[in-house]
């Protein structure tokens, strides 16, 4: 391994080291604050390492990994999300769990798994990353083990994820049997077999696993329960980090194999996109629970994202990256509010608890309002530019069915996002006495972070030019 390769992997090593550092810290000094601050510094370290290594990209670490601009973008997105999730976790767990330290080990391990997915160019690294992510999530979802919902959600995720992992392995095995290669590149060279039944079966089995992770219909049955049962910051983690990682590997896999030019695969993914958009939006309509509502909305949003995946060209990837960026910021802001409003006994998930929030906590209500508007894709917010780019890439390829479905289901979506906003602005009930705030400093920091997220959302919504050029520049840095 050359120096350059090592340097290119430095961010991932720092990420891996973070979980070890936290483990050691727990052995020596059990202070939540210290762990939190160290974790924050280490995540900044990962970003610093990425900045440091940017000049030598792209690097291939054969045969498993490829660190290129594409990977850097997605890893950056993951680390950014983890930073925010980590910040949210402090006030959430400090009030609930007397011993929340192991949480951070799992958090960093899970992000490492997602980050590995973004750089994998081989089935082995793909599977390793996915399992690392899943196993951390099993424990994270059920972390508040005294809550029934959490245990149920953890079990559900464990069983289903294990089953789909088996599907994934079987699919990989079939493809390996046909192509004789575990590398994406190696498979791509065997263009003759791409329409063979075995390859198609293998691909279908892999799609089951990927669809499960991305919560695409019809593999979405876990989503609402897990979103509801998991602690709010973990839900944010599932909604952002795990989906970014899996989507990144899907994009790379499809790009190398040029899956989109292959009819049956295109039909398969179009169908998934269309069904996800329709079902996700329809199921969200009547939800009275904000976390479940966001779960169904995320199903729909992954459907939108797949529309950007379908063209399989530069514009599509660009749109997908931007969409994921806007979506992550939005979702983090929304779950940030859920986290801040949650009490010791339970998460603030019932919509009734948000009634008249605007008149009690205007700033928080505004953050949530902007997040909802962004999810609905209203201009001035990043969500609009994201949806605009997805539509552009879809129209460019003449994918009329997904595009029209996207438009129609967006209108359905607007209904339930507006419903949430309507609740926030409705007449306030008698003021609920709030518990004493335990950590004013961390509350202040969290508030600031949420406001910054909203400003970011406006910034990329009104002046997306800089971000777009950044994304283009990164995507030009080599291909794996």
Partner 1 sequence: MILVILISVLLVAGGLCWGLDRWWAARVKWVALLAVVIDLVLVAALWIEQGGAPPEAASAWMIDYRAEWISAFGISFHLAMDGLSLVLLLLTFFLGALAVLCSWNEVRERHGFYFFNLLWTLAGIAGVFVALDLFLFYFFWEVMLVPMYFLIALWGDSNRRYAAFKFFLFTQAGGLFMLVAILALYLLNGVQSGTYSFDYNHLLNTSLDAPAARWIMLGFLVAFAVKLPVVPLHNWLPDAHSEAPTAGSLILAGLLLKTGAYGILRFVVPLFPEAAAAIAHWAMLLGVIGILYGAVLAFAQTDIKRLIAYTSVSHMGFVLLGIFAFSELALQGVVLQMVTHGISTGALFLLAGMLKERLHTRDIGQMGGLWTALPSMGGVALVFAMASLGLPVLGSFIAEFLVLMGAFPVNAVLTVVASLGLVLSALYSLRLVQKVFLGPAPVAAHPLRDLGTREKIIMAALTISILWLGLYPQPVIDMVNGTVAQLTRPAPAVVIR
- Residues at the interface with partner 1 (CB under 8 A): 373, 378-380, 384, 388, 391-392, 395-396, 403-404, 407-408, 410-411, 414-415, 418, 422, 425, 463-465, 468-469, 472
CA distance readout (Å), 42 to 36, 48, 99, 166: 10, 9, 21, 34
Q: Are 226 and 153 within 8 A, CB to CB?
A: yes
- Other CB atoms within 10 Å distance of the CB of residue 440: 9
Task: Indicate the SS3 state at residue 61.
Answer: strand
Q: In angstroms, rounded to a whole number, what is the distance separating the alpha carbons of residues 11 and 180?
A: 32
Q: Which is nearer to partner 1, 32 or 301 (CB)?
A: 301
Q: In angstroms, rounded to a whole number, what is the distance separating the alpha carbons of residues 68 and 474?
A: 8
Q: Are 236 and 228 within 8 A, CB to CB?
A: no
Least distance in angstroms from the C-beta of 395 to partner 1: 4
Q: Which is nearer to partner 1, 223 or 317 (CB)?
A: 317
Least distance in angstroms from the C-beta of 372 to partner 1: 11
Q: Which is nearer to partner 1, 112 or 317 (CB)?
A: 317
Q: Which is nearer to partner 1, 186 or 356 (CB)?
A: 356
Least distance in angstroms from the C-beta of 457 to partner 1: 14
Q: In angstroms, rounded to a whole number, what is the distance separating the alpha carbons of residues 480 and 468?
A: 21
Least distance in angstroms from the C-beta of 437 to partner 1: 22
Least distance in angstroms from the C-beta of 392 to partner 1: 5
Least distance in angstroms from the C-beta of 368 to partner 1: 15
Any bridge partners for residue 67, and if so which? 59
Q: Which is nearer to partner 1, 408 or 455 (CB)?
A: 408
Q: Which is nearer to partner 1, 223 or 373 (CB)?
A: 373
- Other CB atoms within 10 Å distance of the CB of residue 101: 19
Residue 366, class by beta-carbon neighbours within 10 Å (0-12 exposed, 13-18 middle, 19+ buried)?
middle
- Other CB atoms within 10 Å distance of the CB of residue 422: 11
Backbone phi and psi for residue 155, each to the nearest 5 degrees, phi listed first: -60, -45
Question: For residue 351, what are its two tokens?
Answer: 């919509």
Q: Which is nearer to partner 1, 88 or 399 (CB)?
A: 399
Backbone phi and psi for residue 65, each to the nearest 5 degrees, phi listed first: -120, 155
- Among 151, 146, 40, 141, residue whose Cα is nearest residue 98: 146
> Which one-letter DSSP state was computed for residue 73?
H
Least distance in angstroms from the C-beta of 359 to partner 1: 8
Least distance in angstroms from the C-beta of 432 to partner 1: 21
Q: Which is nearer to partner 1, 163 or 411 (CB)?
A: 411
Question: For residue 308, what are its two tokens?
Answer: 């950007």
Q: Which is nearer to partner 1, 359 or 447 (CB)?
A: 359
- Three-state SS string over 308-360 comes to HHCCCCHHHHHHHHHHHHHHHHHHHHHHHHHHHHCCCCCCCCEHHHHCCHHHH
Least distance in angstroms from the C-beta of 417 to partner 1: 10
| Biggest alpha carbon–alpha carbon distance for the chain | 70
Least distance in angstroms from the C-beta of 402 to partner 1: 12
Q: Which is nearer to partner 1, 197 or 422 (CB)?
A: 422
| Radius of gyration of the chain measured on its C-alpha atoms | 21
What sign does the CA torsion over 117, 123, 129, 134 have? positive
Q: Which is nearer to partner 1, 434 or 472 (CB)?
A: 472
Tokens 């059990």 correspond to 30
Least distance in angstroms from the C-beta of 259 to partner 1: 23
């Amino acid at each position: 391994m050359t120096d350059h390769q090592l340097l290119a992997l430095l961010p991932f090593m720092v990420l891996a080291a973070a979980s070890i550092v936290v483990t050691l810290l727990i052995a020596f000094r059990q202070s939540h604050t210290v762990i939190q601050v160290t974790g924050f510094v280490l995540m900044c370290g990962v970003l610093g390492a990425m900045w440091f290594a940017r000049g030598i990209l792209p690097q291939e670490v054969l045969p498993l990994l490829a660190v290129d601009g594409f990977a850097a973008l997605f890893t950056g997105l993951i680390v950014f999300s983890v930073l925010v999730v980590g910040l949210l976790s402090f006030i959430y767990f400090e009030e609930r769990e007397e011993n929340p330290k192991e949480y951070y080990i799992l958090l960093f391990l899970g992000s490492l798994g997602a980050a590995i997915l973004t750089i994998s160019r081989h089935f082995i690294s793909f599977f390793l990353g996915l399992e690392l992510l899943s196993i951390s999530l099993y424990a994270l979802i059920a972390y508040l083990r005294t809550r029934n919902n959490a245990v149920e959600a953890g079990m559900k995720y464990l069983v289903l994820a294990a089953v789909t992992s088996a599907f994934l392995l079987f699919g990989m095995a079939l493809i390996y049997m046909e192509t004789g290669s575990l590398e994406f590149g190696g498979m791509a060279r065997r263009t003759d077999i791409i329409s063979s039944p075995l390859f198609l079966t293998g691909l279908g089995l892999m799609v089951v696993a990927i669809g499960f992770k991305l919560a695409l219909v019809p593999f979405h049955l876990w989503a609402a329960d897990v979103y509801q049962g998991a602690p709010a910051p973990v839900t944010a983690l599932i909604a952002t980090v795990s989906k970014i990682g899996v989507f990144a590997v899907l994009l790379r896999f499809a790009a190398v194999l040029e899956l989109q030019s292959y009819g049956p695969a295109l039909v398969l993914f179009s169908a998934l996109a269309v069904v996800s958009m329709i079902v996700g939006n329809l199921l969200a309509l009547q939800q009275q629970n904000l976390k479940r509502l966001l779960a169904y909305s995320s199903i729909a949003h992954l459907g939108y994202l797949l529309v950007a995946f379908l063209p399989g060209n530069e514009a599509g990837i660009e749109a997908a990256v931007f969409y994921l960026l806007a979506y992550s910021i939005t979702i983090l802001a929304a779950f940030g509010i859920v986290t801040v409003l949650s009490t010791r006994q339970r998460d603030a998930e019932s919509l009734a608890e948000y009634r008249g929030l605007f008149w009690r906590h205007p700033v928080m209500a505004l953050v949530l309002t902007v997040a909802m508007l962004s999810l609905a894709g209203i201009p001035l917010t990043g969500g609009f530019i994201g949806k605009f780019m997805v539509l552009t890439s879809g129209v460019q390829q003449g994918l009329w069915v997904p595009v029209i479905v996207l438009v129609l289901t967006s209108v359905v979506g607007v209904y339930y996002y507006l419903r949430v906003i309507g609740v926030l602005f409705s007449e306030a009930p008698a003021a609920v006495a709030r518990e004493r705030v335990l950590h004013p400093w961390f509350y202040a920091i969290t508030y600031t972070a949420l406001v910054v997220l909203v400003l970011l959302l406006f910034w990329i919504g009104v002046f997306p030019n800089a971000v777009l050029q950044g994304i283009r520049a990164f995507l030009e840095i080599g291909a794996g």
